[in-house]
Amino acid sequence: MSISECTDKPLDLSPVAAMVADRAPFSEGDVIDALQDMQTRYGYLPRAAMDEMARLSGVPVARLYGVATFYSQFHLQPHGRHAVRVCRGTACHVRGAAGILSAISRHLGIEDGDTTPDMQFSIESVACLGTCFLAPVMLVDDQYYGNLTSDKAVATLKRIQARDGAPNAAAQPAAQKGSAPCPP
């Protein structure tokens, strides 16, 4: 299912009205907190919900998108349950981050920036995780894994999958670039 199919489905926007009403009078100082609530509710920031927040709050939709695209915590597309961030900073790069990202992509059956069809994992390469002493490093959710090899990175993901009871994601059909199933 493509992202456009997800965003074309009717979306319950009543939670957005509550988010705006809870902050009345809504001001630009409420934008980050409201967007965090929206992402918690929907799993990402759906276009229709952003438009509704702009309409109800009086904050221009361009301002909402400006904040949402500035901060890496926000996602404009459905995102996996587990965020896998692979550092591509200088220290990680020279110690093999590209090979680690490639191994993770092969294991999960998706590319950088994509989400697995089962919505369990999203991969994102990032400029720096600020832990050069652990290079090469990845961050899964809020847990750092350092001094990685491709094998160690894949083994880490397999442990997470086993803990969650998830099958090997690579055995599933690969997601297309920029596509994912609709979140629950």
pLDDT (tens digit per residue) in 142-152: 899 999 999 99
pLDDT (tens digit per residue) in 56-93: 999 999 999 999 999 878 889 888 999 999 999 999 99
Give kind and range of the element (H or E) at residue 145.
Answer: strand 143-145
CA 149 to chain centroid, in Å, comes to: 23
Token duo for residue 7: 């965003």
Q: Identify the band that residue 4 occupies on the pLDDT scale cut at 50, 70 and 90.
A: very low
pTM for the model: 0.67
Q: Count CB neighbours of 97 within 10 A.
A: 23
